[in-house]
Structure 1
């Protein structure tokens, strides 16, 4: 009688946890044979990872980062307070980009290239993949419990995305490291050739971001890919294999201007931020309490109503338009607020408060002075303003009033492809640092590609005393005949 060996069945658990507002992906990887689990690239509000692990019979025992992030506060510092968790961080950042926040009592292991650690019977192998950042690691996942001796997947962080690769310019454009851009692009190309291409075609690519992230310019909207698919159809990866100079030009051109908060994120993720033990509470305020606080220095009213047209119609004087819609809240807050601002929140209703505070907390804002609904404030007679607006169906750039200026708040690459003659370009994500370039004695007609970004920028300028008119809709019709 022939005996057939029992088939070995994988007991690996893998789940992507996706943040739509930041287009950011974390990964929970668990060994169901031992009940241990790892989180890679968690955001700051870590309670949801604990819940997901517990719901699947797992205990988080390890946390790893692919790199020092620029677009959100890492949850590693919050996880470090848990005595059951060991952190795995890169040791390869050199003098400038090595972690400084872990103390002598932090349970942390600094990984070298090709070094492995285990989560139960799952091997996690670090692959040094610099270019996006010097210290960047990718993680090959090998399911020994399922009988594998090759990776089933590689968590690529900001090294490789679906249809794109990580941008190598952020050390310079966001963190202010002069001269880093072109050398980083060449390092990225070498990493692609030496670290990605040799992996087997069947290996899944689990990226750190999807479409909408400012960490790339052409990210795909599907959650994962494979090495083989990217090798065949990722245009920038193919360019890296055939044309070194063309790759450098392509990867450095047309990247969107990052929000100003990116620089702060790089530093707090390297050097540390206040550990809060969760998203701080935000108290409901009466209209009188709200009005009293709104007059204090360092307090900023943030209007998060999802419908930005409601803000145009009526809003608390001096407030910032930051709708809880897509990425608008995080991009507005990250571009226009400062780290020391205490936030008064205007919300549609209490049911969205948790979403609002979590999104703000994930990008480093944790001083919540209180909240109220707009209807409560309006009924109590608070000072209410309107945002003057028009649209391109009713507005001709050639006919705007004498002395007025056109302000184009799209990305520079969009502006270069076509714009209205005479328009000044300042991307809305950089407006706070460049506001001194805009004389305050002129009227500004503010436009973008739809009105969304222009609304955020207009609210910021209006709160600082500028005379602004928001122009809704697309100006593209004027590009055809009136391009500078």
Structure 2
């Protein structure tokens, strides 16, 4: 058996290529949408991809399962446990007509990829349809599973959040029943053999949990001993209270990902290759994603541009602030264009029409400057009554301490909550350290608000108190 992890640092997402070296066949678990990476990796190992499997209908990225079905004729292995609301709806919509090769799996169903046996384990809670996959290397003579591809069920040091059907997808009343279902699934997990390796779907930085570890894999036994959330599962009431408290606000694009992954992501084909353009050639109405450092953006940017440096937050910022039907122009070095485009298509933003070199921005006409103030200046503004304060941190951060009179909206939720942003005054916008508020200021500026960023954020505000 061959086993490879393919990790996306920006979305903290793990896909797995599992192959049989005897038959030269492979399956990809939880692929993202730019599937050429998996195809090339398989080819480099002398394998061909014959299957694509999903642990669940994802909220944080667009699945590449349909893309692999189209590109290499892979069979789709998907959950049949989601009920009418969370069943896959794209399997009969093959390009050119007909149905994709597929198999819908229920608890304890299995399929083989050469000498590799894959058994589905229904683990509801994070989502109703969630499956884990036990992997057994029968080709080597093993009769017991080696490990568990756990998706968003159990992570290293955490478990998948059960609130997203309600907090992201808007299914009112789903949160607590999902938490109780998760507790039941975890109690069954606690009965698994300790030696099983654990291969989770996310690591630290993912919004699919609140305390994920940065280690890429674990064992069932280690998590049984040291995973705080898992340890609480025996006390269902305590578990529900704990798991539903302090979860980060889901980015605005999560609801769209759930819907599109259920109904069928658009077939991408080749990864878009935008052409170089001048600042003056940016199409009217296009979303401009300016990847330059904040200081350069603050001191002069194209009107309506969004501040989106190419760090790990890039796909989340873009997904939360750009609509999928919008044309997109990047302000980006040529060497970074492919990386940026891949991060965009993974969250369903495909219409990347061009890129402007950062060196061309300073000479462009009509540049806009974003206001920024230090903590003493911010205190003077607040004392004058000339500004309303908008705190774009997470709700849990806000509850731990905030500026009197501030309105709290997490920066990744500004789009759907734009009507709650204070009006009638200029806005002083802050987060904890000044980074998230910088992204928020650019978005709010585009939406017509008069904004000032608090450099250094709430930490600087508190430091200036005395």
Contact 2:407 2:422 in 1 (8 A): no
Contact 1:200 1:228 in 2 (8 A): yes
Q: Shift of the alpha carbon at 1:438? A: 2.3
Q: Which of 188, 192, 198 is the matching residue for 1:199?
A: 192
SS of 1:444 mapped into structure 2: strand
SS of 1:182 mapped into structure 2: helix
CA distance in 2 between partners of 1:146 and 1:397 (Å): 71
CA distance in 1 between partners of 2:358 and 2:73 (Å): 44
CA distance in 2 between partners of 1:393 and 1:479 (Å): 10
Match in the other structure for 1:27? 16
- Cα deviation code 1:201-260 (max 9, x no counterpart): 01011000000000000000000000000000001100112x211100110011111111
Q: Which of 146, 157, 167 is the matching residue for 1:163?
A: 157
Contact 2:388 2:422 in 1 (8 A): no
Counterparts of 1:31-180 in structure 2, within 5 Å, are 31-82=20-71, 84-103=73-92, 104-180=98-174
Q: Does 1:228 align with 2:221?
A: yes
Q: Shift of the alpha carbon at 1:151? A: 1.2
Contact 1:304 1:356 in 2 (8 A): no
Q: Does 1:375 align with 2:359?
A: yes
Match in the other structure for 1:263? 255
Counterparts of 1:400-439 in structure 2, within 5 Å, are 400-439=383-422
CA distance in 2 between partners of 1:276 and 1:326 (Å): 23
SS of 1:335 mapped into structure 2: helix
Q: Which of 345, 361, 383 is the matching residue for 2:345?
A: 361
Q: Shift of the alpha carbon at 1:395? A: 3.7
CA distance in 2 between partners of 1:407 and 1:20 (Å): 30
Classify 1:459/1:398 alpha carbon distance in 2 versus 1 (closer, same or farther; 3 Å): closer
Q: Where in structure 1 do 4 or more consecutive aligned residues deviate above 3 Å? A: 397-401, 476-482
How many residues are aligned here? 460
Q: Does 1:475 align with 2:462?
A: no
Counterparts of 1:280-359 in structure 2, within 5 Å, are 280-290=272-282, 293=283, 296-297=284-285, 299-305=286-292, 307-327=293-313, 329-347=314-332, 349-359=333-343
CA distance in 2 between partners of 1:320 and 1:70 (Å): 23
CA distance in 1 between partners of 2:278 and 2:417 (Å): 36
Q: Shift of the alpha carbon at 1:383? A: 1.7
CA distance in 2 between partners of 1:391 and 1:218 (Å): 32
Contact 2:303 2:446 in 1 (8 A): yes
Classify 1:180/1:310 alpha carbon distance in 2 versus 1 (closer, same or farther; 3 Å): same
Q: Shift of the alpha carbon at 1:269? A: 0.4
Classify 1:234/1:397 alpha carbon distance in 2 versus 1 (closer, same or farther; 3 Å): farther
Could you tell me which runs of 5 or more consecutive residues in structure 2 were left unpaired when the two chains were aligned: 93-97
CA distance in 1 between partners of 2:15 and 2:346 (Å): 13
435-444 or 267-276, larger mean C-alpha shift: 435-444
TM-score (structure 2 length as normaliser): 0.96
- Cα deviation code 1:269-323 (max 9, x no counterpart): 0101321212122111133322xx1xx24x2111122x22221122111101111
Q: Does 1:210 align with 2:203?
A: yes
Classify 1:77/1:346 alpha carbon distance in 2 versus 1 (closer, same or farther; 3 Å): same
Q: Shift of the alpha carbon at 1:401? A: 3.4
Contact 1:449 1:473 in 2 (8 A): yes
Classify 1:397/1:200 alpha carbon distance in 2 versus 1 (closer, same or farther; 3 Å): farther
CA distance in 1 between partners of 2:265 and 2:109 (Å): 28
Q: Which of 268, 276, 279 is the matching residue for 2:271?
A: 279
TM-score (structure 1 length as normaliser): 0.92
